[in-house]
Structure 1
Amino acid sequence: MTTVPDAARQEALLRLARQRKRTAAATGRATPTASPAAGPAPLSHAQHRMWLMDRLGQGGALYNVPFATRVRGPLDLDALAEAVTGLVRRHEVLRTRYAHDDGEPYQEVMTAGPVPVRVVDATGGGEGELSVEAARPFDLGAGPLPRVLCVRHAPEDHTVLLTFHHIAVDGGSLDVITRELDARYRAAVEGRDGQGPGGETDAGAPQYADFARRERAEGAATLDTGLTYWAERLAGARPVPLPRVAAPAGSRGEGHVLTTPLTAQTLEGLRAVGRDHRSTLFTVVLAGAFATLLETTGGEDLVIGCASSHRDRAGWRDLVGLCVNTLAIRTDLSGARDFGELLSRVRDDLLEAQGHRHVPFDLVTGRLGAAARDGDGNPLVGVTADVLPKPSGLRLAGTECEPVDIDLGTAKFGLGFYVAEATDRTGPRALVQYDRGRLDEATAQGLLDAFAALLTEVASDPGRPLSRGTADCVDRPVDGLPAAPLGARGEAVTAVFGELLGDDPGPDGDFFFLGGHSLLAVRVAERLRERLRLPLTGLDVLEHRTPRALAALLDERAEQRKLTAAAGSGGARRGPTKAGTVLVTGGTGGVGAFVLRELAARGRPVRALVRPESAHLVAGDGIEVAEGDLADPGSLRDAVAGVDAVIHSACTFTSPEVDVAAMRALLDGWRQGSFVFVSSVDAYGRPPVVDVTEDTPSAEPLTPYGRAKLDCERMLWEAAGTEGRGGATAVRAPLVWGPHPRLRDQLRWGATGALFQAARSGEPVVLPAAGAVPASGAPWSGAPWVHAAALARALVTCAERPAHGMVNAIGGHVGWEEFATELNRLLGSSGGIRPAAATASAPLLHRHRYRAEALAEELVERPGEDWRSVIAAMLDR
Structure 2
Amino acid sequence: MVLASQAQHGMWITEVLHGTGTAYHMPFALWFDGPLDREAMLRACEAVVDRHPVLRCAFEQRDGELHVVPAAGRPPVAFATAPDPGHLLRTEIARPFDLGRGPLARFTLVEVTRERHVLLFVGHHLVFDGMSKDLLTRDLAAAYAGEALPPLPMPYGARLAIPPEASAYWRARWRDASEVVIGGTARTVGTAGRAEEVLLDLTGEMAAAQAAGVTRFEAFLAAVHGLLFSYGNAEVAVAIAMSTRDAGTRDHIGLFATELPVYSTPKPDTTFRELAHALRAEVHELNRFRDVPAARAAGGVRPRPALAPVSISFRRRAANVVFPGLRTSAEWKMSNRTVRNVLHLQAVDGDDGLRLTLHYSPDLVSTQDVEAAGHDLRAVLAAARADPDVPLTGLAPTRALPVATPPPVAAGSGGPPAPAPVREAGAVDGELVEQVRLIWMEVLRIDDVAPDEDLYDLGGHSLTITQISARIRKRLGVEVPFDVFLDDPTVTGVAAAVSELRA
TM-score normalised over the length of structure 1: 0.47
Q: Compute the displacement of 1:92 (Å).
A: 1.4
1:147-546 alignment to 2 at 5 Å? 147-187=106-146, 194-196=147-149, 201-202=150-151, 205-209=152-156, 212-213=157-158, 216=159, 220=161, 223-232=163-172, 234=173, 237-239=175-177, 241-243=179-181, 252-262=192-202, 264-267=203-206, 269-274=207-212, 277=213, 279-300=214-235, 302-313=236-247, 315-334=248-267, 336-358=269-291, 360-361=292-293, 364-370=294-300, 372=301, 380-389=307-316, 395-404=322-331, 405-421=333-349, 428-436=354-362, 438-467=364-393, 486=423, 495=433, 500=440, 503-504=449-450, 506=452, 511-521=455-465, 537-539=481-483, 541-542=485-486, 544-545=487-488
Match of 2:10 among 20, 24, 49: 49
1:682-831 alignment to 2 at 5 Å? none
Is the Cα–Cα contact under 8 Å of residues 239 and 380 in structure 1 kept in the other structure? yes
Q: Compute the displacement of 1:527 (Å).
A: 9.3
User: What do the CA deviations read for 1:269-308 (whole angstroms, capped 9, x no partner)?
Assistant: 223224xx2x2100011111111121112314x3322222
- Which residue type is aligned with residue 92 of structure 2? E
User: What do the CA deviations read for 1:732-781 (whole angstroms, capped 9, x no partner)?
Assistant: xxxxxxxxxxxxxxxxxxxxxxxxxxxxxxxxxxxxxxxxxxxxxxxxxx
Is the Cα–Cα contact under 8 Å of residues 430 and 448 in structure 1 kept in the other structure? no
Instruction: Give 3-state SS (helix, strand or coil) of 2:375's partner.
Output: helix
Corresponding residue pairs, total: 466
Is the Cα–Cα contact under 8 Å of residues 345 and 357 in structure 2 kept in the other structure? yes
Is the Cα–Cα contact under 8 Å of residues 176 and 319 in structure 1 kept in the other structure? yes
Where structure 2 has 5 or more consecutive residues not aligned to the other structure, the ranges are 406-419, 442-447
> Structure 1 residues 270 and 324, CA, compared in 2 at 3 Å: closer, same or farther?
same
Q: Compute the displacement of 1:161 (Å).
A: 0.7
- Which residue type is aligned with residue 79 of structure 2? V
Is the Cα–Cα contact under 8 Å of residues 77 and 117 in structure 1 kept in the other structure? no
Distance 1:487 1:534 in 2: 21
Is the Cα–Cα contact under 8 Å of residues 240 and 299 in structure 1 kept in the other structure? no
Structure 1 stretch displaced more, 386-395 or 76-85: 386-395
Q: Compute the displacement of 1:152 (Å).
A: 1.9
Match of 2:77 in 1: 117
- Which residue type is aligned with residue 432 of structure 1? L
- Which residue type is aligned with residue 314 of structure 2? V
Distance 2:197 2:426 in 1: 42
Is the Cα–Cα contact under 8 Å of residues 388 and 419 in structure 1 kept in the other structure? yes
> Structure 1 residues 247 and 323, CA, compared in 2 at 3 Å: closer, same or farther?
closer
Distance 2:421 2:275 in 1: 50
> Structure 1 residues 546 and 270, CA, compared in 2 at 3 Å: closer, same or farther?
same
Is the Cα–Cα contact under 8 Å of residues 296 and 447 in structure 1 kept in the other structure? no
Are positions 1:95 and 2:34 aligned together? Answer: no
Q: Compute the displacement of 1:380 (Å).
A: 4.5
Are positions 1:82 and 2:10 aligned together? Answer: no
Computing the radius of gyration over CA atoms, which structure comes out larger, 1 or 2? 1
Where structure 1 has 5 or more consecutive residues not aligned to the other structure, the ranges are 1-39, 188-193, 475-482, 559-618, 622-877
Distance 1:489 1:175 in 2: 58
User: What do the CA deviations read for 1:348-390 (whole angstroms, capped 9, x no partner)?
Assistant: 21222223333x11xx3124233x469xx78653432243445
> Structure 1 residues 128 and 529, CA, compared in 2 at 3 Å: closer, same or farther?
farther
Match of 1:63 in 2: 24
TM-score normalised over the length of structure 2: 0.77
Match of 1:138 in 2: 97
> Structure 1 residues 393 and 541, CA, compared in 2 at 3 Å: closer, same or farther?
farther
Q: Compute the displacement of 1:90 (Å).
A: 2.1
Distance 2:306 2:73 in 1: 39
Is the Cα–Cα contact under 8 Å of residues 255 and 409 in structure 1 kept in the other structure? yes
Instruction: Give 3-state SS (helix, strand or coil) of 1:538's partner.
Output: coil
User: What do the CA deviations read for 1:151-189 (whole angstroms, capped 9, x no partner)?
Assistant: 2211221111112222222222222222221111111xx
User: What do the CA deviations read for 1:777-797 (whole angstroms, capped 9, x no partner)?
Assistant: xxxxxxxxxxxxxxxxxxxxx
Distance 1:484 1:541 in 2: 12
Q: Compute the displacement of 1:528 (Å).
A: 9.7
> Structure 1 residues 534 and 129, CA, compared in 2 at 3 Å: closer, same or farther?
farther
Distance 2:193 2:461 in 1: 19
Distance 1:396 1:159 in 2: 13
> Structure 1 residues 488 and 438, CA, compared in 2 at 3 Å: closer, same or farther?
farther
Distance 1:492 1:117 in 2: 54
Q: Compute the displacement of 1:130 (Å).
A: 0.4
Instruction: Give 3-state SS (helix, strand or coil) of 1:450's partner.
Output: helix
User: What do the CA deviations read for 1:11-70 (whole angstroms, capped 9, x no partner)?
Assistant: xxxxxxxxxxxxxxxxxxxxxxxxxxxxx3211112222332343253542222212111
Alignment root-mean-square deviation, CA: 4.3
Is the Cα–Cα contact under 8 Å of residues 68 and 160 in structure 1 kept in the other structure? yes
Match of 1:836 in 2: none
User: What do the CA deviations read for 1:393-424 (whole angstroms, capped 9, x no partner)?
Assistant: 87532211111353211123433335444787
Is the Cα–Cα contact under 8 Å of residues 30 and 330 in structure 2 kept in the other structure? yes
1:852-863 alignment to 2 at 5 Å? none
Is the Cα–Cα contact under 8 Å of residues 173 and 319 in structure 1 kept in the other structure? yes
Distance 1:485 1:373 in 2: 19
Instruction: Give 3-state SS (helix, strand or coil) of 1:297's partner.
Output: coil
Distance 1:513 1:411 in 2: 28
User: What do the CA deviations read for 1:109-136 (whole angstroms, capped 9, x no partner)?
Assistant: 46996x653222215x211110110121
Is the Cα–Cα contact under 8 Å of residues 56 and 104 in structure 2 kept in the other structure? yes
User: What do the CA deviations read for 1:605-663 (whole angstroms, capped 9, x no partner)?
Assistant: xxxxxxxxxxxxxx797xxxxxxxxxxxxxxxxxxxxxxxxxxxxxxxxxxxxxxxxxx
Q: Compute the displacement of 1:231 (Å).
A: 2.5
Percent identity for Structure 1 against Structure 2: 26
Distance 1:99 1:49 in 2: 13
Is the Cα–Cα contact under 8 Å of residues 238 and 373 in structure 1 kept in the other structure? no
- Which residue type is aligned with residue 73 of structure 1? G
Instruction: Give 3-state SS (helix, strand or coil) of 1:406's partner.
Output: coil
User: What do the CA deviations read for 1:294-350 (whole angstroms, capped 9, x no partner)?
Assistant: 1112314x332222222232x332222222223332334246532122112111212
- Which residue type is aligned with residue 76 of structure 1? D
Is the Cα–Cα contact under 8 Å of residues 373 and 380 in structure 1 kept in the other structure? no
> Structure 1 residues 127 and 539, CA, compared in 2 at 3 Å: closer, same or farther?
farther
